[in-house]
Amino acid sequence: MKIVKTVAEVRAQVAEWRKTGMSVGLVPTMGYLHEGHASLIKASVRDNDKTVVSVFVNPMQFGPAEDLESYPRDINRDSLLAGECGADLIFNPEPEEMYHEGFSSFVDMSVLTQELCGLSRPVHFRGVCTVVTKLFNIVKPDRAYFGKKDAQQLAVVRHMVDDLNMDLTIVGCPIIREDDGLAKSSRNTYLNADERKAALVLSKALALGADLIRGGEKSCSAIIAKMKEFIEKEPLARIDYVKIVDCATMQQIDTLDRPALAAMAVYIGKTRLIDNFFTEDL
Ligand code: PAF
């Protein structure tokens, strides 16, 4: 697996592939790859002639009190996993390569970002939109792959691509879970054994919400109250949010009368985990 660290090297390699008319897929990641990322890479390998995986812990999307420093990093492990999945190139820039001195241009969004994670992480989506735009400009992929675990991120990126006429297709891929239901996440590595058990409250609370919806419950506040009540029974859990929003606007709704997203962020100890489901997938 070839790992390159500069924009110039990625551009040279992609230009080489383009000469023979090959299509290119991009899987943007922050590394410490797991089966969730593997499923994105495999989808890209399936759809494109060549696949680039970017591994970059983007400082711009972390708030001051967040886990930028402790975010797990292991490029050798990442390179092995990406290679096994069929990726062709890893782009692993240093922060200075992405944000040179005097960097001062940003991509931001005034819709979709006010609720859910955008509310608890005010600078997050500006950082995501800026870095994703840069990655799209560097790699110029035909398709880019994002997981549905970050459902709001997926909606924001799709909206940005549409607003700014970016010439690529965004592909959303299903959440990958551990056998017991916990959504795969690089942040799961922060959990100790007790926290790992406690972390099941997220997927179990969502399963409870999904059952209520399947049973015909239409009141969002009733569904949310039951999910919160369940989570609050777990002493290691502290709710950031549990919400049901319109899929298109990410705004909260009262009644389940349109495609919706049930999403939550819950601290397990110091670790903030997210999970969700789309009512359309039930
Ligand atoms: O989902 C992530 O890992 C990141 O937000 C992304 C899309 C790679 C941008 O840094």
Reported as a single tens digit per residue, the pLDDT across 31-63 is 999 999 999 999 999 999 999 999 999 999 999
Closest to 76 (Cα-Cα) out of 7, 1, 10, 135: 1
- Under a CB-based contact definition with an 8 Å cutoff, are residues 57 and 68 in contact? yes
**How many other β-carbons are positioned within 10 Å of the β-carbon of residue 254?**
10
pLDDT value at residue 224: 98
- Under a CB-based contact definition with an 8 Å cutoff, are residues 233 and 240 in contact? no
- Under a CB-based contact definition with an 8 Å cutoff, are residues 172 and 144 in contact? no
pLDDT value at residue 171: 98
Sign of CA dihedral 116, 233, 181, 272: positive
Does the CB atom of residue 27 touch ligand 1 within 6 A?
no
Pocket test for ligand 1, best of 30, 121, 134 (most atoms within 8 A of CB): 30
- The Cα 64–Cα 273 span in angstroms is 18
Does the CB atom of residue 170 touch ligand 1 within 6 A?
no
Does the CB atom of residue 29 touch ligand 1 within 6 A?
yes
Reported as a single tens digit per residue, the pLDDT across 7-27 is 999 999 999 999 999 999 999
149 pLDDT more than 90: yes
- Under a CB-based contact definition with an 8 Å cutoff, are residues 24 and 169 in contact? no
- Under a CB-based contact definition with an 8 Å cutoff, are residues 78 and 33 in contact? yes
Q: How far apart are the first and last CA of the chain?
A: 38
Does the CB atom of residue 30 touch ligand 1 within 6 A?
yes
Does the CB atom of residue 58 touch ligand 1 within 6 A?
yes
Reported as a single tens digit per residue, the pLDDT across 107-146 is 999 999 999 999 999 999 999 999 999 999 999 999 999 9
Q: What is the mean pLDDT of the chain?
A: 98
pLDDT value at residue 1: 87
Task: Decide the pairing of beta strands 89-91 and 271-278.
Answer: unpaired
Reported as a single tens digit per residue, the pLDDT across 202-261 is 999 999 999 999 999 999 999 999 999 999 999 999 999 999 999 999 999 999 999 999
Mean local confidence (pLDDT), 171-195: 98
Provide the β-strand partners of residue 159. none
pLDDT value at residue 104: 98
Q: Which residue has the tokens 């049901």?
A: 244
- Under a CB-based contact definition with an 8 Å cutoff, are residues 154 and 146 in contact? yes
- The Cα 257–Cα 159 span in angstroms is 23
Distance 129 CA to ligand 1 centre (A): 9
Whole-model pTM: value is 0.97
- Give the three-state DSSP class for 91: strand
Catalytically active residues, by annotation:
37
Ligand 1 atom nearest 61 alpha carbon: 10
DSSP secondary structure letter of residue 67: S
Ligand 1 atom nearest 28 alpha carbon: 8
Does the CB atom of residue 133 touch ligand 1 within 6 A?
no
Distance 89 CA to ligand 1 centre (A): 17
Amino acid identity at 199: A
